[in-house]
Amino acid sequence: MTPINEVIIKKKTNINPIWIMRQAGRYLPEFREIRKKNPNFINLCLNEKLSSEITLQPLKRFELDAAIIFSDILMLPYGLGQEVEFKKNFGPILGDLNLEKIAKVDEIDFINKIHRVYKAIKIVNNSKILNNKNTIGFVGAPWTLLVYMINQKSPKKKLKTDFFKDKFLINRILLILEKFLKIHIKNQIDSGANLIQIFDSWAGLLEEKDLPNFIYSPTLNLVNYVKSLNIPVICFPREVKNLKEFCDVVNPDVVNIDYNVSPKKIIDKISIPIQGGLDPKILLTDKENLKKETYKYLDVFRDYPYIFNLGHGVLPETDPNMMDYLVKMVKDY
């Protein structure tokens, strides 16, 4: 059993397991070499040879406990036929949302469009570099994908003022998303993913009264589906204030906390394993500060089932030597 699975299933492990969100990617020089020759991000995600190579790059450098497939949550709207492109220094730009077109997409069309993601997972899972560690597949939560599909870009802390005006459109998309997210999850698991993370990057945009409709209910359906396939599931409801209520209702196997959550305050409220928390910006400081901030989490969660991670993805300007120092520190704790 892997250290991560021990934390999830046995609620304890001999070592502190660690993996990092966005560990495969832009802070590594070997990734930047590949990216220079492959400017189209979607095409890179759909090149199973390169995306599997990128996925394994951090495991060649650091003693991490899992590989997370190099892909993107927006492969889902792309698979449904919405245009998706990534503009440098801006982020994702999505094309017009054509509900009629999306509603006609069937499972075979969807899989044909993104099947190379599943091929990449198979390559990673069969690699000797992985060496019996976890292979993590992931999806965006329905709410976060809905935000991107309607907003057509990153909302940067606020939604379009008329976002909720078309209730029919919203409810129809959520139903379509649930169907294809389950298909996407199942195909990742069938290809070798033995852990699924659900990213709800924009959960913090909602008022508390809207959480049941847009966060709890749609995410619970996915969590129950993953559990029905006997695979552990991690949820990252970023900036949701009432994490206790989220965990009580949605009941994932693990909850990933963001860097605004106090480890001391959360440990008494939650009964499931916890992952993450460290602010990625700490990796941009110095080793002494990194050690001090890392130990805050390791000390608080010393006797609690905990998977070390960040409170958001690793930043592009991060020095790989700082990452190396972090991983070794967590392992030696």
**Amino acid identity at 81:** G
Do 85 and 92 contact (CB within 8 A), yes or no?
yes
Q: What is the pLDDT of residue 24?
A: 97
For the chain, the C-alpha Rg in angstroms (whole number) is 19
Question: Taking 80 as the threshold, does the pLDDT of residue 327 lie above it?
Answer: yes
**Residue whose C-alpha is closest to residue 124's, from 61, 68, 186, 76:** 68
Please state, as a whole number, how many other Cβ atoms lie within 10 Å of the Cβ of residue 223: 21
The helix/strand/coil state of 176 is: helix
Give me the mean pLDDT over the 199-206 stretch: 96
CA atoms within 13 A on the CB side of 90: 9
CA atoms within 13 A on the CB side of 155: 21
Whole-angstrom distance, CA of residue 133 vs CA of residue 208: 37
Q: What is the pLDDT of residue 10?
A: 93
Strand partners, 84: 94
User: pLDDT confidence of 164, banded at 50, 70, 90?
Assistant: confident
Residue with token string 């649930």: 178
Strand partners, 278: 310
Q: What is the pLDDT of residue 272?
A: 97
Backbone φ and ψ for 193, nearest 5 degrees, come out as -65, 125
Give me the mean pLDDT over the 309-320 stretch: 98
Do 178 and 221 contact (CB within 8 A), yes or no?
yes
Q: CA-CA distances (angstroms) from residue 179 to 108, 142, 174?
A: 13, 10, 9
pLDDT in tens, 272-298: 999 999 999 999 999 999 999 999 999
Whole-angstrom distance, CA of residue 206 vs CA of residue 200: 11
Q: What is the pLDDT of residue 307?
A: 98
Question: Taking 80 as the threshold, does the pLDDT of residue 160 lie above it?
Answer: no
Question: Taking 90 as the threshold, does the pLDDT of residue 314 lie above it?
Answer: yes
With a pLDDT cut of 70, the percent of the chain lying above it is 100
Whole-angstrom distance, CA of residue 80 vs CA of residue 106: 9
Question: Taking 90 as the threshold, does the pLDDT of residue 88 lie above it?
Answer: no
pLDDT in tens, 216-271: 999 999 999 999 999 999 999 999 999 999 999 999 999 999 999 999 999 999 99
Q: What is the pLDDT of residue 193?
A: 98
Q: How far is CA 81 from the centre of its chain?
A: 22
Residue-averaged pLDDT of the chain: 96
Q: Give the architecture (CATH level 2) of 3-332.
A: Alpha-Beta Barrel (3.20)
